[in-house]
Amino acid sequence: MTSDASPSRRAVLGLAAAAVPAALLATGAAPASAASAVGGERLGLDGIQVRRLGGAPPVPKAAAQSWLVADYESGEVLASYRAHHRLPPASTLKMLFADTVLPKFDKALKHRVTAADLAGIPEGSSLVGVEAGTTYTVDQLWHGVFLRSGNDAVHVLSAMNGGVPATVREMAAKAVDLQALDTHVVSPDGYDHAGQVSSAYDLSLFARHGLRNTDFRAYCATRTAEFPARGGKKFQIQNTDRLLGEYKGMIGVKNGYTTHAGNTFTGAATRDGRTLLVTVMHPVNGYDQVYKDTSALLDWGFRAAGRVTPVGTLVAPVSEGGRPSAAATPAAGPNAARSGSGGSGDSSSSWPLFGAGGGAAALLAAGTVALRNRKPRRTRKH
């Protein structure tokens, strides 16, 4: 089921997305200066960043506009290309949605979906097949999010979480806590909206944080699942991650595609006790290129282990003792969000254009603490 978002709903969601004062938000392709880049100065530089030692293999050529290779355990960034370049994230933004909402509800909790839960799902959205009048467990809804990138499942979980605007605000606060300061959230599902941006660095932060959650890790590694249908029936859904079961040691994490964003992917794989994270954004070629780039960069990362000096680090969340970044609010630029029509997953709309800036951290710090200390919300069982 899809429907166009009504103007009033768009207005409400736009106001929620603008909860961080616009005076502190600006769009741009990269931090104002490399010195202010979260995770290290070299991550703010253009061009491929790598420090190879003797015998280290060369970094493979990639078609992506931005990419990053990092060690999952240590957070060391082994190599990167325009790590903080702001681009539309597509459904990889659902990792932040899961980081924010997944811990709140028991997996066995049941929810009978209403038409209101599904209102405002953008036309052309990817759907898992959630229907009003049918009861789902939270576990089933998360399978719909991770395997089929279902915007319908995202909207139902958002409704359970107090609504889309509230969820957008919480995701923005979560991004600040994770120090993902390139990210600006407009919708919880990654749908193409003007001003909705992230970066390879931020998506890697979302994946690393999520994979520490047992349920998150299990969902993104699941290849098939049964999903409820009318009349007590079920149908099988498959994970759209093409590297699951194909790339040795692959454990997830999330892929995305829209006409506006192109292809995006964050993947994690383990070999010989070492786990690497790779994020690839917007390859210039076809659909498979994002997976080819990811595979090549993972192969390089495993071969280069112990033969490179890190060029930066994936920082720890502020709530877990991470030192707050001193990143400055980025200057305006042309690459933060481009207008275009969506398809296959999302489409653009005429929402206010904002970007995320480091200056928002102080204003949202109190909100982040409040969210962290708030008791989980429960919905009535049906």
Catalytic pick among 36, 66, 80, 94 = 94
199 is catalytic: no
Strand boundaries in the chain, DSSP class E = 48-52, 66-71, 76-81, 110-112, 135-137, 224-228, 234-238, 250-258, 262-271, 274-281, 308-309, 312-313
Judge whether 171 and 100 are in contact, CB under 8 Å.
yes
Give CA–CA dist 14/168, Å, rounded: 10
Could you count the other beta carbons within 10 Å of the beta carbon of residue 61? 8
Residue reference for tokens 């481009």: 338
Give CA–CA dist 126/41, Å, rounded: 37
* Cα radius of gyration (the chain): 19
Scored b (16 or more CB within 10 A) or e, 126-149 reads bbbbbeeebebbbbbbbbbbbbbb
Catalytic pick among 66, 80, 126, 149 = 149
Give CA–CA dist 184/202, Å, rounded: 11
Residue reference for tokens 């597509």: 90
Helices 94-101 and 200-211: angle between axes, nearest 10 degrees: 40
Residue 92 CA: distances (Å) to CA of 28, 87, 202, 346: 20, 11, 10, 13
Give CA–CA dist 225/153, Å, rounded: 14
Catalytic pick among 36, 91, 126, 198 = 91
Judge whether 362 and 203 are in contact, CB under 8 Å.
no
Bridge partners of 266? 254, 279
Virtual CA dihedral for 72, 77, 79, 81, nearest 10 degrees?
100
Judge whether 265 and 294 are in contact, CB under 8 Å.
yes
292 is catalytic: no
Strand boundaries in 23-153, DSSP class E = 48-52, 66-71, 76-81, 110-112, 135-137
295 is catalytic: no
- Report, as residue numbers or ranges, the catalytic residues: 91, 94, 149
